[in-house]
Amino acid sequence: MNHRPEHPGVCFVTSRTTTANRPLQEVAKATIEGGCDLLQVREKDLPGGPLLTLAREIVEVAKPRGARCRVVVNDRLDVALAAKAAGVHLPADGLSIDQARRAAGKRFVIGRSVHSIVEARQAQKDGADYLFFGPVFETPSKTAFGPPQGPDALRKIVEAVRIPVWAIGGITPATAARLRGIAIAGVAAISFIAAAPDPADAVRALRSALSG
């Protein structure tokens, strides 16, 4: 994952409760066909067994695209490893990066959610491969993490570290367009993609908004 990609990417963060009753695997497949670069399986309420089954199915769906769409699992390192996912995404208060690295090895992708420059620099120092920063814009799903931080705060995070930074929180084509000119790895969206009539089109719309 290059720090300053020529074309910022799109990450789909799953939420099976917002897919308009469609199977999550079907929505995930559509996002991958639409050119999704990163897919985070984030179903916090699912027990280990069902989560592993779901993660394995999504990893299989992504295989035809090879390394073009990496699948990571939120928080659950054990599930990520068992599902043969590309990596794990650690919440800000989750497992330490060092613990994850020792268990998973060098080739495993380890991401971390951060909400400040201090956290971002620490995660980089600890060996994170990429960061999620947010909420950048207003969003119901991230109210627990405080008010939106805005594009200026995002820019400062990007400038403070050398590893890729993804923007999350209230991402739509209109808000993504406001991030042009900031050297982000891309944007991560939950409901805008999951609830879209055509998730593949939603991914393409975000990519188009980023490139201008």
Residues labelled catalytic: 42, 113, 142
Q: Up-side HSE of residue 197: CA atoms within 13 Å toward CB? A: 0
- Are 28 and 55 in contact by the 8 Å Cβ rule? The answer is no
**For residue 172, with 0-12 CB atoms within 10 Å meaning exposed, 13-18 middle and 19 or more buried, which class applies?**
middle
